[in-house]
Amino acid sequence: MGDSLASLRTKLILVVALITIVSFVSVLVSNLRLVKADKEESLRQSNRQVSELVAKFVISQIGEYRRGLNYIYDSWSENPEFALQAEYFPDYAWVTIVDWTGKPVFEWENTKALQKSGISSHKLLGKRNKDSLFSEVRQVLSKSDDWLFFNSTVDPLMPTFLLGSEVSSETDDIRYVALAEIFADSLYKQVQSRDGQELMLIDSHQNLLLSTREGWDPSKIILSDDQTLEIVKALNVGEERLELIEPLQMEEQLSYMKKFKAGQGLTLILQEPYKNLTAGHKKIQWQSGIVGLIVLIFVINVIIFMAHRFTSPLRKLSDLMTLVGKGEFSGRVDVKSNDEVGKLAKGFNRMLHDLSERDGELNRAKQKLIQSEKMSAFGQMSAGIAHEVKNPLAGILGYAQMAKKKLEDRPEVFNYMEIIEKETTRCKEIVENLMRFARQEKANLQKIDINKAVQDSVRLVEHQITVSGIKIVQVYALEGKPIFVNGNMNQIQQVMLNLMLNAQHAMESKGTLSVSTHFDEVHKQVMIMISDTGCGMSAEVQARIFEPFFTTKGVGKGTGLGLSVTIGIIKDHKGNIDVDSTEGKGTTFTISLPAFGADEGEAETEEKKTA
C-alpha cells in the first residue's frame, strides 16, 4: 500500500511536471515565433522605408540627368551652333544626340574632365559600340517611353554610368535619341547604407550599378550571387520582396528587393545578415530557458509539497486499515481538510467507531453466551444431582431425628446422632441451593416492601456479625417507609444473607458493613447497596465470582454457589447486580430492582390496612 501511494505521488508529480514543461515550451516557442515574425515585419518596414528613400533619390537624380539632356536638345534645336559650357554639366563625360535614323546631330565631350583624368572618350566606351547602344535605346523607346541606365565603368578609378533616353520637343514630329556617359562619383557619394547593411542597385542590364559594400570595385559589375539575380529577374515592375538568401560561402542574408517602375529593370536591393536579426532572438531563447528552468524547479517543489499533502492522509488511512485488518479499531485518522479525502477520512473514522462498538457488543454477547451455556450445563447437572440426593437426604435426616429422640438417655450415641443431623441439614441446604440455582423452584413474586426485606435480613445476621467485631451501618431510603417491588421475600432475604456473609468473610473480625437502600423515583428503581471494608477482589476474581462453584475459600468453607444463586434470583426479579471492588480496600455490591412508585405502594398499603 505504501509503495502504491509512493507511485501515486510520483505519477502526480510526473504528470504535472510534464504539463508544465509542455505548456512552458509551447508558450516559449510561440513567443519566439511571434518575436521573430514581429522583427521580420519591422525589418521589412524599415527596409521598405530606406529603399523608398533611396529609390526616390536615385530616380530624381536620373530625372535630373534626363532633364539636362532635354535642355541640351532644346538649346541645339534653337541654335544648331550651340556650344555646351562644361562647368554647367560637370557630371557629363560626353553627350550624343542622333535622329531616329541613326544620324548624329549633336556631339559633345567634356574635354576638361577627360583630360584631367587622362582617359579618352574612346576609351570610355570600351568595347561598346555607339551604334549598337543607339539601336538598343531605340528598341526600348519603340515599345515604351522608358529609358536605360547602366554601369559603364571601364576604369575602376573613374566609374561611369550610361544613360539612354528620348529627347524631343512637343512641337516636333521628329524623334531624337540622346546618349550620355555620366560620372558616377556624385551618385555614389550620396547613396549610403546603415552599418551591417549592404545597398545595391541593379541596372537596366541586370548588372550591378552600385554597391555600398566596402571595397567594392565598380568595374566588377556581374552580380556574384545567382540566387539574388534569379529573384531580381523574376520580379515584376514595381514589385517588392523579402527573401532569406544564402549566397555561396557567405552567411545567410535577409534581402529586400524592389524593382523600379522605370529604367528597364532598375532594382534596389537591401541586404542584412540574418544573424543580426536572430542575435536578440538567441538571447531571448537563452533567457527564457533559464527562467523556464527556475519556474520548473519551483513548480516541481510545489508539486512535491502538494502531492505530499494530498497523499499523506491516504497513507494514514492505509496504515490504519492495516491495523483494522488485525482487529484493532481504536485508531482514528486526523484529517482536517474538507475535500474528498477529508470526507473519506471522516467516513472512515465513523466506520471505525461503529465497528469498535459492534466488536465490543459481539464480544460481550459471546461472553454471555459462553456463560449461559456453562450455567445451563451446570444447571442441568446440579438439578440431576440435587433431585437424586434430595429424597435420600430427607430420609436420613428424618431417621436421624427419630433415632435422636430414642437415644436421649445414651448421651455418647445421642451426640453422634446430633452430628449426623447437623451435617445432613448442611447437605440438605447445599442441595436446596443447587436446586435454586438450577431454578427448579420458581418462586412466586408478589408485592413486597424492600426496606422491610432488607431490615429483616440484617436482623437475622446482626448478632452473629457484631459478635465477630464488625460494625453495621444501615441507611434506608424514604426514612425506612415502604418501597414496593414485585418480589419474593424469602429469595430477597437469601440474596441479602449471601452478600452479608460474604462481606463478613472478607473482613474477618474488624471493619464496617454498610447496608443501604436508595429509591430513584424518576426511573422507578430501588437500589440495595452492601458495602464492606474487607480484602476486596482482583480483577480476575471479579470476572468469575458469578460462576457456580467458583470460590476462593478453603474446602468445607465455601461452596462457590452463593453469588451464582444470587444472580439467578436477581434476574428472576428483572433486576441487576453490579460489583465494585478494590483489592485491600473493600467491595460494594449494588442490586437494582424495578419498583412501584412510592405513592402507589403507600396507597395500596392504606387500602390493605382499611381492608
Which residues of the chain form contacts with ligand ADP (CB under 6 A)? 498, 502-503, 506, 532, 534-535, 537, 541, 545, 550-553, 558-564, 587
Measured N-to-C along each axis, helices 562-572 and 489-507 cross at an angle, to the nearest 10 degrees, of 150
The HSE-up count of residue 181 (CA atoms within 13 Å, CB side) is: 26
Query: Do residues 94 and 105 lie in contact, with contact meaning Cβ atoms separated by under 8 Å?
Result: no
Shortest spacing between CB 364 and ligand ADP, in angstroms = 21
Rounded to an integer, what distance in angstroms lies between the CA atom of residue 58 and that of residue 277? Answer: 28
Query: Do residues 448 and 485 lie in contact, with contact meaning Cβ atoms separated by under 8 Å?
Result: yes
Residue 146 contact among Mg ion, ligand ADP, none, beta carbon within 5 to 8 Å by kind? none
Shortest spacing between CB 490 and ligand ADP, in angstroms = 18
The HSE-up count of residue 383 (CA atoms within 13 Å, CB side) is: 12
Phi, psi at residue 529, to the nearest 5°?
-120, 130
Shortest spacing between CB 483 and ligand ADP, in angstroms = 24
The 125-164 contact track toward Mg ion, x by CB under 5 A, reads ----------------------------------------
Would you say 548 or 562 has its CB closer to Mg ion?
Answer: 562
Shortest spacing between CB 531 and ligand ADP, in angstroms = 9
Residue type, 289: G
Q: Which strands, in side-by-side order, build the sheet including 176-183?
A: 104-109, 92-99, 176-183, 160-167, 148-151
Site for Mg ion in 482-521 (CB under 5 A): 502
Residue 545 contact among ligand ADP, Mg ion, none, beta carbon within 5 to 8 Å by kind? ligand ADP
Residue 165 contact among Mg ion, ligand ADP, none, beta carbon within 5 to 8 Å by kind? none
The HSE-up count of residue 335 (CA atoms within 13 Å, CB side) is: 27
Letter string b/e over residues 167-179, b meaning 16 or more CB atoms within 10 A of that residue's CB: bbeeeeeeebbbb
Shortest spacing between CB 551 and ligand ADP, in angstroms = 3
Would you say 11 or 553 has its CB closer to Mg ion?
Answer: 553
Shortest spacing between CB 570 and ligand ADP, in angstroms = 13
Would you say 39 or 439 has its CB closer to ligand ADP?
Answer: 439
Would you say 223 or 530 has its CB closer to ligand ADP?
Answer: 530
Tell me the CA distances in angstroms from 469 to 466, 515, 539, one per residue in order. Answer: 5, 17, 28
Would you say 133 or 507 has its CB closer to ligand ADP?
Answer: 507
Judged by CB under 5 A, the number of residues near Mg ion is 2
Would you say 239 or 578 has its CB closer to ligand ADP?
Answer: 578
Would you say 562 or 568 has its CB closer to Mg ion?
Answer: 562
Site for Mg ion in 305-344 (CB under 5 A): none
Rounded to an integer, what distance in angstroms lies between the CA atom of residue 146 and that of residue 165? Answer: 7
Would you say 483 or 503 has its CB closer to Mg ion?
Answer: 503
Contacts of 284 (CB under 8 A, 6+ apart): 31, 32, 35
Shortest spacing between CB 536 and ligand ADP, in angstroms = 6
Select the residue whose beta carbon is closest to Mg ion and give its number: 562
Shortest spacing between CB 552 and Mg ion, in angstroms = 10
Select the residue whose beta carbon is closest to ligand ADP and give its number: 562
Binding span for Mg ion by CB under 5 A among 311-319, 423-431, 532-540, 561-569: 561-569
Quickly list DSSP for 86-103. GGG-TTEEEEEEEETTS-
**What count of other Cβ atoms lies within 10 Å of the Cβ of residue 107?**
12
Pick from 265, 487, 548, 562: which binds Mg ion (CB under 5 A)? 562
Contacts of 117 (CB under 8 A, 6+ apart): 157, 158
Would you say 562 or 568 has its CB closer to ligand ADP?
Answer: 562
Rounded to an integer, what distance in angstroms lies between the CA atom of residue 562 and that of residue 578? Answer: 15
Shortest spacing between CB 541 and ligand ADP, in angstroms = 6
Binding span for Mg ion by CB under 5 A among 181-189, 259-267, 562-570, 582-590: 562-570
Rounded to an integer, what distance in angstroms lies between the CA atom of residue 235 and that of residue 87? Answer: 40
Shortest spacing between CB 373 and ligand ADP, in angstroms = 19
Residue 532 contact among Mg ion, ligand ADP, none, beta carbon within 5 to 8 Å by kind? ligand ADP
**What count of other Cβ atoms lies within 10 Å of the Cβ of residue 611?**
5
Residue 342 contact among ligand ADP, Mg ion, none, beta carbon within 5 to 8 Å by kind? none
Shortest spacing between CB 565 and Mg ion, in angstroms = 9
Would you say 352 or 535 has its CB closer to ligand ADP?
Answer: 535
Residue 285 contact among Mg ion, ligand ADP, none, beta carbon within 5 to 8 Å by kind? none
The HSE-up count of residue 295 (CA atoms within 13 Å, CB side) is: 17
Would you say 558 or 594 has its CB closer to ligand ADP?
Answer: 558
What is the grid cell recorded at 362? 459481539
Contacts of 413 (CB under 8 A, 6+ apart): 407
Interface with Mg ion, residue 564, by CB under 5 A:
no
Residue 48: enclosing H or E segment and its boundaries? helix 2-78
Rounded to an integer, what distance in angstroms lies between the CA atom of residue 459 and that of residue 455? Answer: 6
Would you say 498 or 592 has its CB closer to ligand ADP?
Answer: 498
Q: Which residues pair with 258 in a beta bridge?
A: 240, 268
Shortest spacing between CB 427 and ligand ADP, in angstroms = 15
Shortest spacing between CB 589 and ligand ADP, in angstroms = 7
Query: Do residues 209 and 161 lie in contact, with contact meaning Cβ atoms separated by under 8 Å?
Result: yes
Would you say 268 or 591 has its CB closer to ligand ADP?
Answer: 591
Judged by the rule CB under 5 A, the positions of this chain that interact with Mg ion are 502, 562
